């Protein structure tokens, strides 16, 4: 076996080991700091009625969420525009902590949306502000508030 094959095989085994692990979106300390800062705040701008749409398909946030949980978002934009997935941002809590890279670390993102098979959050109240721009430069934000049990 060539020397270069060993690191590749190790990386492949590591990737398979992590593939089934839930993604930690926010630590307990980050969650606690957000709640202590005054809780859930409203985004600075409201959702655009003419821009792209961000629809939460899963989980059902009308009731407490169990973890790990699946997160599915669907994107849509009025024609002739298309959602621009490179502009997607996910901000967490009162401090608007940018968790976009954490989310995209194990998620598949396309112009149709995002799917995270297993996401972890500590118990408590949470808020995500999701933003997306379409190919015509219109930005929309979606505020999602939920409780993890």
pLDDT in tens, 80-118: 999 999 999 999 998 999 999 998 887 889 999 999 999
pLDDT of residue 26: 85
Which residue segments constitute the domains of the chain, with CATH numbers given?
22-148 (2.60.40.1220)
Give 34-76 pLDDT, tens digit per residue: 888 876 555 444 555 689 999 999 999 999 999 999 999 999 9
Q: Which residues of 85-114 are buried (b: 16+ CB within 10 A; e: fewer)?
A: beebbbbbbeeebebbebbbebbebebebb
pLDDT of residue 48: 53
The pLDDT, as a whole number, for residue 12 is 34
- State the pLDDT confidence band at 25, using cuts at 50, 70 and 90: confident
């Amino acid at each position: 076996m060539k020397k270069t094959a060993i690191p590749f095989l190790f990386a492949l085994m590591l990737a398979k080991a992590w593939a089934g692990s839930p993604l930690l979106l926010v630590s307990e300390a980050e969650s606690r700091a957000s709640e202590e800062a005054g809780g859930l705040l409203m985004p600075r701008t409201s959702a655009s009625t003419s821009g792209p749409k961000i629809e939460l398909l899963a989980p059902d946030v009308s009731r407490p969420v169990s973890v790990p949980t699946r997160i599915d978002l669907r994107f849509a934009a009025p024609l002739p525009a298309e959602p621009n997935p490179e502009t997607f941002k996910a901000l967490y809590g009162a401090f608007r902590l940018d968790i976009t890279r954490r989310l995209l670390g194990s998620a598949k993102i396309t112009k149709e949306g995002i799917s995270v098979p297993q996401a972890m959050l500590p118990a408590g109240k949470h808020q995500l502000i999701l933003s997306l721009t379409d190919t015509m430069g219109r930005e929309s934000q979606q505020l999602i508030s939920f409780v993890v049990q």
